[in-house]
Structure 1
């Protein structure tokens, strides 16, 4: 295995000593409701508290897993599915210590998928993500509660996006998520006071996370015993997903949305380029127009001030989720320099070419060994069957 060299930090980058980042912060189990947005992250973002950054990165990694585990090879007999079964997903993807257990895969099968995702679904539909629940006692103690997470996959290509299609995602996947969450809540009903539901996703996946969080919170509000369960969205590169009435309703029912936005990424600017939440009274007068869209929740702008990143004119790269996680890892505050805290910088180049050459990380290096083919006892190379 190749060993990538450690980076040499430049003058505008800082490596914070562990004593600065961990000595004074409270335990996550004591402040988890604030980290999940109970007070709209007031006082936690600028500067960003370490607990919140760590949790946002953790959920971002789950969103990234949805890309890494997706079989998007058109020549594969398992095209459009997940590489691994629910039982083995976290182990196979190097996240065996996550403390979560996958309970359900989310599929969708509509004509829109070919237009939006550019993918032709198999019989069971295209794999869009997963639902998992925290089951490890040590992780539950660390988190301070039992967490249910729903991670949505975005599109394979940044520009293959349609908000309208995202808003009308297949009804079967919507019903699947609602029914599975209802089931899990019934299973853990005795832990109601220490239960959370967290959605995460990138790009179209972030839009789907927002929409499905809205659905779940509506369901919880309709059931008196469930209304107090916090519902949170950690959204990366999310486009706008609804009109002003939708944004208002999301706030009213208590869905907490924290949106991470790369300031050079174009996707969060659409739809509603002209008519949006930034045009003041005009948007209130013309809210009935079909092209008026509002963002929801709280926005955290990420600056491209990393010394690891080279200058590029490839706008699609600014939408890359690994870049988002890299910028978040180095984010301290809106006016603070990038402070690298140890996240592997090589991950930035998994599917793009953004790192400076001096770091000697090859571009687009993430690939499946032998493109998934294995050599059988007869000496022939074939695709293995899906894991049970």
Structure 2
């Protein structure tokens, strides 16, 4: 895509951001198929959700397993989100941490060492705010919250905790609709542990405090709150968004008070709550949610009993893509990069597949082998150089896979 076309699309996004964020009738008549600028916009937030996977340390042998690889000031650059991407101009202001259901692998391996990163916490996402260049491209000052999806055994344990439970930290002890939510994701979101360094506050309280701070800091500007995530991360983003609106944390302290919009871009999002939760969700006028679901992916259908969908839905079908090996497998159907490929080419529920935006095909194979061999892209090519091993001046090698975050 030529640079002048990119500039033209960016101008459209800045001008039409309210429509693209669902403020004009919740994307009605805009999704089958989506416009070029809506595709770009959705994938912009998809890339920010993908960043939570790219930056997470999964190596079991690392004492930093479960932590984030990069410092806040380097995150966007190190995961490849700034070069040629004018929409992704954010300053990362906060890292989010959640309690773990089980001891993380690296902490277990080094459990006798005082250098072990954490036995009970893991990195779950980040908060950022559009810088001045990002504000220009996006048409307003966007406050972003990105939540990570399932990666480690702790996440998988929580995913399986299906029982719908009340959510008193969101809705209080009594609510007329008696909303209930997925036990495991509510636990990740709301649990704290005084005996930890990173979770004396729950992930919820960390996020809420930072959102309140940023909404106040930019109270005299036009602002938005946008939350994103994939799979489990999409579910937690939905909980977080409801929490923010329910407690009025999106209200700017100006005279007269202004409520900024809260939008969720939820990729491969499972069902989050019951009918009561859905009823509360629908009653919130400042809340908008777009679920992006791939036809062959089973995760958005989960859990199948006792839960309801919320928000609007964009249906994609990567099986129709002529760029991918068919018919694929559950991993490729569910992958975040596969989802963004689908958004780039979906032609509506009854249409075929044609790439409408120039999204780099090589990204499809970032963590998979889904792209057809004729494109010459190696499978699972995204790796940290030497798996994080660094040679010291004396010639010895040492695992250095985590940047200390010295930001204030």
**Would you say same fold, with TM above 0.5?**
yes
State whether structure 2 residue 29 is matched by structure 1 residue 43: yes
Question: Which residue in 2 is equivalent to 1:203?
Answer: 231
Measured in 2, the distance between the counterparts of 1:207 and 1:22 equals 33
- Give per-residue Cα distances to partners, 1:130-169, cap 9 Å, x unaligned: 0000112x32122111000000110127993335311222
State whether structure 2 residue 130 is matched by structure 1 residue 99: no
Measured in 2, the distance between the counterparts of 1:222 and 1:364 equals 40
Residues 178 and 358 (structure 1), Cα distance of their counterparts in 2 relative to 1, 3 Å cut: same
Measured in 2, the distance between the counterparts of 1:375 and 1:114 equals 27
SS of match in other structure, 2:293? strand
- Can you give the 5+ residue segments of structure 1 that lack an aligned partner in the other structure? 1-15, 276-291
Measured in 2, the distance between the counterparts of 1:210 and 1:66 equals 16
Measured in 1, the distance between the counterparts of 2:325 and 2:348 equals 22
Residues 20 and 27 (structure 1), Cα distance of their counterparts in 2 relative to 1, 3 Å cut: closer
Question: Which residue in 1 is equivalent to 2:289?
Answer: 257
SS of match in other structure, 2:264? strand
- Give per-residue Cα distances to partners, 1:348-376, cap 9 Å, x unaligned: 11222211222222222221110100111
Contact 1:196 1:229 in 2 (8 A): yes
Query: Which of residues 288, 293, 303 is equivalent to 2:317?
Result: 303
Measured in 2, the distance between the counterparts of 1:148 and 1:269 equals 29
- Of 171-180 and 344-353, deviating more is 344-353
Question: Which residue in 2 is equivalent to 1:386?
Answer: 403
Measured in 1, the distance between the counterparts of 2:236 and 2:49 equals 12
- Pairs within 5 Å for 1:286-325: 292-304=306-318, 305-312=320-327, 314-325=329-340
TM-score (norm 1): 0.82
Residues 196 and 124 (structure 1), Cα distance of their counterparts in 2 relative to 1, 3 Å cut: farther
- CA RMSD between the two structures: 2.9
Question: Which residue in 2 is equivalent to 1:243?
Answer: 274
Figure out how many residues of one structure are paired with residues of the other and give that number.
Answer: 350
State whether structure 2 residue 394 is matched by structure 1 residue 366: no
Residues 84 and 328 (structure 1), Cα distance of their counterparts in 2 relative to 1, 3 Å cut: same
State whether structure 2 residue 162 is matched by structure 1 residue 176: no
SS of match in other structure, 2:247? helix
SS of match in other structure, 1:56? helix
- Can you give the 5+ residue segments of structure 2 that lack an aligned partner in the other structure? 112-116, 161-181, 192-201
Question: Which residue in 1 is equivalent to 2:352?
Answer: 337
Question: Which residue in 2 is equivalent to 1:167?
Answer: 186
- Of 76-85 and 307-316, deviating more is 307-316
Query: Which of residues 12, 16, 31 is equivalent to 1:31?
Result: 16
TM-score (norm 2): 0.79
1:334 to partner: Cα distance: 2.8
Measured in 2, the distance between the counterparts of 1:166 and 1:63 equals 17
1:221 to partner: Cα distance: 6.5
